[in-house]
């Protein structure tokens, strides 16, 4: 299993949820976040202080074989071609448990 974490622009989140589910995601968690990347939050001229910008963090656990497809769908949808489009990373998940049923790992997805 893989955990796909995407930090993206808030105005892209509705389209990203659609893209992720169409690509095979069966569930996700979204949370508001603030932060900055390589530009320290500046979208034009860099200043001396970092600026925290609003973002949305999406966490999606998928089967190994779906990870690349879902991550690529998110990347394509999130891309506006401008500074601040976001970041996606993929991590390995050792185990998952569905609380309601006790199912584990792929069955829990």
Q: What confidence tens digit (pLDDT) does each residue in 20-40 have?
A: 999 999 999 999 999 888 776
pLDDT value at position 78?
96
Tens digit of pLDDT for each residue in 42-88? 666 666 677 789 999 999 999 999 999 999 999 999 999 988 899 99
CA distance 18 to 8: 14
Q: Looking at 1-109, which runs of residues are DSSP E strands?
A: 2-8, 29-35, 53-62, 86-92
* Cβ contact 46:100 at 8 Å: no
pLDDT classification of 98: cutoffs 50, 70, 90 = very high
Identify the domain containing residue 90 by its residue range: 2-108
pLDDT value at position 101?
95
User: Is the model's pLDDT at 99 over the cut of 90?
Assistant: yes
pLDDT value at position 84?
87
Q: Per the structure, how many domains does the chain have?
A: 1
CATH number of 97's domain:
3.30.70.120
């Amino acid at each position: 299993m893989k955990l796909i974490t995407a930090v993206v622009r808030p105005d892209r989140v509705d389209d990203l949820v659609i893209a992720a589910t169409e690509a095979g995601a069966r569930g996700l968690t979204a949370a508001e976040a603030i932060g900055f990347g390589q530009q320290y939050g500046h979208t034009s001229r860099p200043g001396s202080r970092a600026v925290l910008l609003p973002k949305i963090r999406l966490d999606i656990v998928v089967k190994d074989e779906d990870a690349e497809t879902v991550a690529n769908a998110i990347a394509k949808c999130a891309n506006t071609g401008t500074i601040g489009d976001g970041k996606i990373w993929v991590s390995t998940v050792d185990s998952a448990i569905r609380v309601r049923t006790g199912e584990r790992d792929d069955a829990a997805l």
